[in-house]
Amino acid sequence: MQTITLGRSGLNVSRICFGTWQIGGDWGSFDEDAAIGAIRQARELGVTFFDTAQAYGFGASEELLGKALRPDLERDRDSVVIATKGGIDPGSDRPRKATREYLRSGVEQSLRHLGVDHIDLYQVHWPDEQTPAEETASALQELVDEGKIRHAGVSNYDSAQLAAFDRTRPVETLQPPYHLLRRDIETDPLPYARENDIGVLVYSSLGSGLLTGALTADSTFEESDWRSQSSAFQGENFRRNLAVVDELKEFAAGKNASVSQIAIAWTLAKPGIHVAIVGARRARNIADSVAAADVQLTADDIAEIERITAAGVPVTGASPEGIA
């Protein structure tokens, strides 16, 4: 497994990060034992970086990750890098809540759920325009000073929000959405992150399943799966993007790779992207994703991939306020 220094955080991590949104209850039902098996398979394959969030099942995802990693945590805590996120309260009157009090409470809860004495990377899940950036940033610095978190980052911020945070303490990492059908960060905030050596770990590398090749026009989703309410997984938009994926499959076959591996490899090849977050609920799926880190794409390959996906429909995703 390739590793990389995550920007100015200095953290050395695997280029594939195991993400756990899919085991928090927002993606329909799943088998807990199989999910634990997927996490442990990722470790066996060399993954050292794991990302979760307080909001994924209100701690359920963190607890499951802690349970799966317990043997590693007890044997050598520093062998894994655990990232989590806080600062949102989905379903409440104020879903974005990056106040000092709420962040501190969230860190304490996450420590308990994960069963650890410190969090390697704590990220503000979504920007909160109602809370001054200096309050959010200084609150995280206090938690660093206390040893409860080691590094501080943000998720879903734009460049202006990054700069506002930076004025109080450095933003060490950024976690934005990014994949072949969602490339808006290339305009903002990726250039700011590159200029300031901010470590970038991107989520939804597989387009929330769109880029796996496993979906068809007849695919349906459980009511508890957020995709059942998303315009990206319904109607003409869905059909157009599936046609793009079919063409990508042909390209991938010529590279002796899966379409998932091509999507992830493309992400990792883009300047300024340090890490791709991928999720899995079964061991066989994470094995395919991990292998993507070794897929080599030429400049001509990347140009062809982008020609194919230019016919796709740009997609969005879920936010604390709802689903587009």
Rounded Cα distance between 115 and 67, Å, is 8
Q: Enter the DSSP assignment of 89.
A: -
Rounded Cα distance between 235 and 237, Å, is 6
Q: State whether residue 251 is helix, strand or coil.
A: helix
Rounded Cα distance between 305 and 289, Å, is 18
Relative to beta strand 199-202, strand 173-175 is parallel
Catalytic entry in 56, 102, 122, 192: 56
CB-based burial label for 114 (10 Å; 0-12, 13-18, 19+): buried
| Count of positions (residues) in the chain | 324
Rounded Cα distance between 275 and 114, Å, is 22
Rounded Cα distance between 283 and 45, Å, is 10
Tokens of 258: 């899966």
CB-based burial label for 130 (10 Å; 0-12, 13-18, 19+): exposed
Phi, psi of 242 (to 5 degrees): -65, -35
CA 157 to chain CA mean position, Å = 14
Tokens of 112: 């308990």
Q: Give the CA-trace dihedral at 180, 181, 185, 191, to 10 degrees.
A: 30
203 labelled catalytic: no
CA 12 to chain CA mean position, Å = 17
Rounded Cα distance between 272 and 183, Å, is 13
Catalytic residues: 56
